[in-house]
Amino acid sequence: MLQSWRWFGPKDPISLTKIRQAGATGVVTALHEIPAGEVWPKAAIAERLRVLGAAGLGWSVVESLPVPTAVRLAEPGYEKYVERYIESLANLGELGVKRICYNFMPVIDWTRTDLSWRAPDGSVALRFESAAWVAFDVFILRRAGAEQEYSAAQLGAGQRHFDSLDAAGRERLVRTVAAGLPGANEDGYTLDGLRRELARWQDVSPDVLRRRLCAFLEAVVPVCERFDLRMCIHPDDPPRPLLGLPRIASCQMDFDALFAAVPSPVNGLTLCVGSLTAGRHNDASALVRHFAPRIHFAHLRSVLLEDDDSFVEADHLQGDADLVDVARVLIEEERRRQAAGVGHAEIAMRPDHGRVLEGDIGDLPGYPWLGRLKALAELRGMLHAIERLT
């Protein structure tokens, strides 16, 4: 597999030299300085390729080229944003960048309630606590009708969690949930701003959002086919309803419907094992076997689920998902493609949210240096063993 590392551009405290010394050969990055909805110019893409090439690295995956909210809401004039997206894809394709990771999550992107959960070994992990989420949704945000979406036990746990927080704790929870995490579609919200944004989505059902996603993909498929690009949708993270918003990339049924509606092979999947297995309904081993031909990019990480569907991001090889089995299937899929002469035979992978270790550097939640270095080393050893023994 193509071993990659996520890099947030020249301002990232983790240098390209460090990334290359970690053993990665590819970089997963984006032009974060360009606002969503604007065209990625060829000159800017070429400059990023030059910088990466000078460090001995390739641009393995774009993560991500954001889909503007206007497109997901089909607001008047949204077509111009689709046209700009198509132009950006053409520019990437002409310069040889072939994999595009994107998502269609509305309002909030990947979501956690605690960015500094202390593990027994002293490392710091990201955590989603169900009681904290209910406390935020029902008792802090006070979203209309929210209490009807939870059981009495969940509401009780949420109330107790809310009561346990002082003013600073409540403010920290607001910042964690609403302010936006690295790579998110939006720049974050205040509480009032989040309420206003949710109001824009009150009439958007899952079926409506799914139709808009299909329409978007149908519009970009021709340029993707022309340049042999792969659009790889990222699953909802976590794969469950949040804030009453439609979630349409959370399970096998969602992806089956998407690939049936837009059957072109350019319509692919980012297999984010951690995102998917944060939902008890998903089995990573079953999903990778079912969707192997559609997978062109993988986030190899895992989570530990708790009885109330809270979860914490585990060390990469110690979570609930069987990453060895997942990786074995991906390597078999690469071999199948190579034997069949299929393009894009190599599947790009990267370690995902690493734990913060003592002496770590990097201030973006989920993206420390040492935690990901450890994760990539573990994954590289795992992949090497699978390749030698199968």
Query: Catalytic residue at 353?
Result: yes
State the Cα–Cα distance between residues 2 and 9, nearest whole angstrom.
20
Instruction: Answer yes or no: 234 catalytic.
Output: yes
- Torsion on CA atoms 18, 21, 25, 26, rounded to nearest 10: -10
Q: Which of 236, 272, 296, 315 is catalytic?
A: 272
> Using alpha carbons only, what angle is made at residue 115 by residues 362 and 179, rounded to the nearest 5 degrees?
90
- Answer for the pair 364, 182: CB distance below 8 angstroms, yes or no: yes
Crossing angle of the two packed helices 369-389 and 323-340, in degrees rounded to 10: 60
Give the active site residue among 85, 232, 234, 296: 234
Catalytic site residue from 224, 315, 353, 360: 353
352 is catalytic: yes
C-beta neighbour count of 195 within 10 angstroms: 15
Q: Which member of 12, 114, 315, 352 is catalytic? A: 352
Q: Is 150 marked active-site? A: no
Tokens 């990222």: give the residue: 234
C-alpha distances (whole Å) from 59 to each of 29, 198, 339 are: 7, 35, 25
Which residue in the list 78, 85, 189, 367 is annotated as catalytic? 367
Q: What are phi and psi of 347, to 5 degrees?
A: -100, 125
Spot the catalytic one: 101, 114, 189, 299: 299
Q: Is 296 a known active-site residue?
A: no
Contact 316, 284 (CB under 8 A): no
Active site residue 290: no
Which residues carry out catalysis?
A: 234, 272, 299, 352-353, 367
